[in-house]
Chain A
Amino acid sequence: MKTDIILAGVGGQGILTIAAAIGFATLSEKMFVKQSELHGMSQRGGAVQSHLRLSDQPVASDLIPMGCADLILSVEPMESLRYLPYLNPGGCLVTNSVPYLNIPNYPEEKTIHDAVKSLPNYIWINADEIARECGSIKSSNIVMLGAASRFINLPFSALQEGVRQVFGRKGDEIVTMNLKALEAGQQAAALKP
């Protein structure tokens, strides 16, 4: 069993935190993992992506081949579409619906929504709003992790453990808020077809 995940977003939106939480989650499950990311120039408000591969077998390539991703998990709607060539025919696109507007020529939001809706498998969620209800908009990345959790081959409890590991240093309050965000994301996605 393997799960190949493309994480997408804009520098500073916390996709590497999602990757770290999944990474910790796999440790408790004795799985093989490879996670590739780009640093440096790409962190300055530019498009960022990370390839995350989980498997019960050793993983060869650090990069996911095109057409092989089981999941595109994006914290920004336009960025979710950038990596479509990586998605496999049965794969799912899970994205936050709130655009990150730092460029002058951002497409119409409806155009983006329509393109997402045209896919056979997708989840479109306002993660910012859900995160705000959980205590802070900063947790919208973890809301998205929760929303995508059923497509990731790991028990939900392992993801909870991953979130605890990632935020442990920041204190109980932050951990509790992010666990709430994780669950809220999962529930919000469960309501979608």
Chain B
Amino acid sequence: MAQMVLLGAEALAQGALDAGLSGIYAYPGTPSTEITEYVQRNRYARENGIHSAWSANEKTAVEAALGMSYAGKRAMACMKHVGLNVAADPFINSAITGAGGGLIIAVADDPSMHSSQNEQDSRFYGQFAFLPIFEPSSQQEAYDMAFTAFELSEKYHLPVLMRITTRMAHSRAMVECRETRKQNSLRLPDDPRQFVLLPAIAKKRYRQLLNLQPLLEKEAEKSPFNCLLPGSDSSLGIITCGIAHNYVLENYPDGVPYPNLKIGQYPVPLDLISKLVSEVDQILVLEEGYPLLEQSLRGLLNNGAKPVKGRLDGTVPRDGELTPDAVAVAMGLAAQTGPDAPEFLASRPPSMCKGCGHIDTYNALLEAIEGFGPGRTFSDIGCYTLGALPPFNAINSCVDMGASITMAKGAADAGLLPSVAVIGDSTFTHSGMTGLLDVVNENSPITIIISDNETTGMTGGQTSSATGRLESICLGIGIDPEHLKVIIPLKKNHEENVRIIRQELQHPAPSVIISRRECIQTATRKRKEQKS
């Protein structure tokens, strides 16, 4: 069988392809982007017409994947953890409709917030939706779990959540691949009303979902991804979820002295947990993310049969990702460290690239808005969020995809005028358009700057759904053509751009300024590709 060195994200993609995937649907988001990019680059996928184009957002991605599953084929939707908030509606309801062809919802969490606004733990969503969850501890498991997840999904006609975290997504290791399974053929659901969630049907299907829970638990109990490993020292029992297992092994190269339970498939295997608890004096729970399992083991009144240690009692840091070092300390081992880093080191935060159009856009905005007073620029998620840092200090908010426009509207409603939104092109089509409709419907006097670099820049330059469509979208939503301006953010246009922005800031109704210049990273890459 072929061996490949793959990122965890890529291993999952290759596993899905080999397991008979027919389509992947996603919006880019660190650390999940590489799953979809892998399928886009894959020759087998191209030759076999496997869908891999980017979706406008995570909600449309999950819905399209659900549609493909309805039609009997194996589909996967991918996103970062906060993307699941956007897709929460179809995600939760897909548990009620159930699946046709195998359906994997792959979500990459980002504990320690390397590139995110929060470190929410997607396993809570899985539990909330009553869906099975897989959580690989190695690249090989990420590959293998794609097969198992599709099989389980088709066996119970349920979507399955595949949860990975940053270190799993972005770490490479050798993966052994299997034979490629053929794609499913088109097949409609046996029950033509399965996907019609009218209350009468939804009530029935929800009860079915609840009735499946004990069966899903049985599946977890016999899953090869959940195993109770023996240990001679019963003073402690360790439960690990996902990659936490690796950090335990790292600290005991000659074998773990304590009985330990490695969990990779949920709902949690109760019989294995009971068995472990009965054998040991106390339990240490190591989870990458929130203390989901620890919290339920401990119980509200902390009156379980045995003491439970983990994030809630401070044995493990309450926030942030796990490390081999934090796990060593939690297991009572001495912390090692090398020399201290010198104090004179300066931090080197990310910054906008030299020559980036966002820089010229901010320079023009800062000059135009001068004199109106501080605190009136609402921004969004993307490279231009770096405008919050010196030397710009240009924006006052970054909350979630699309929030710039609606927050500017709310602030204007409160009387903060002028009020400005700065949003990227891809973020605008992801979640800004509906906010713009609110603005137009209420004739809110805000100025929206769409900083259009014709790509999804922050995640590495993926296709933007907005490219070539922004003017027609804004006009279609109802922006007055007199107040839809297009500027080119270049130094030589600075004075003119300042004039236009200042003029629109004073317009007592909605205006949109599209500041358009291609991302210099994307432009450079295109130039190189053309040359070769």
Contact = CB atoms under 8 A, between A and B. Distances in A.
A62 interface: yes
B172 A33 contact: yes
Interface stretch (A64-72, A141-149, A151-159): A64-72
Nearest to A100: B348
A37 B171 contact: yes
B457 to A, nearest CB: 9
A61 B5 contact: no
Interface string A37-61: 1111111111100010000000111
B115 A103 contact: no
Interface bracket on B: 35 or more
A42 B114 contact: yes
B346 A105 contact: yes
Contact of A27 (B5, B166, B338, B352): B5
Nearest to B172: A35
Contacts of A170: 532
B344 A111 contact: yes
Given A60-B249, A65-B324, A41 B115 contact: yes
A47 B345 CA distance: 12
A46 B350 contact: yes
Contact of A85 (B31, B337, B351, B352): B337
A79 B345 CA distance: 8
A63 B323 contact: yes
Interface in A12-38: 23, 27, 32-38
Given A46-B351, A47-B348, A67-B336, A41 B325 contact: no
Contact of B174 (A33, A41, A42, A85): A33
A136 interface: no
B350 A85 contact: no
B33 A86 contact: no
Interface string B322-335: 01110010000001
Contacts of B371: none
30 contacts: A34-B172, A36-B170, A38-B166, A40-B459, A41-B458, A42-B350, A43-B350, A44-B383, A44-B386, A45-B348, A47-B347, A60-B250, A61-B246, A62-B171, A62-B173, A63-B323, A63-B324, A65-B328, A66-B325, A81-B342, A83-B341, A85-B339, A85-B341, A87-B338, A87-B339, A91-B338, A105-B346, A106-B346, A119-B339, A170-B532
Enumerate the 5 nearest inter-chain pairs by beta-carbon distance, A residue then B residue, closest first. A40-B30, A67-B336, A46-B350, A40-B115, A87-B338
Interface of B: 5, 30-31, 33-34, 114-115, 166-168, 170-174, 243, 246-247, 249-251, 253, 323-325, 328, 335-342, 344-353, 383, 386, 458-460, 532
Interface of A: 10-11, 23, 27, 32-47, 51, 59-69, 78-79, 81-89, 91, 102-103, 105-107, 111-112, 115, 119, 170
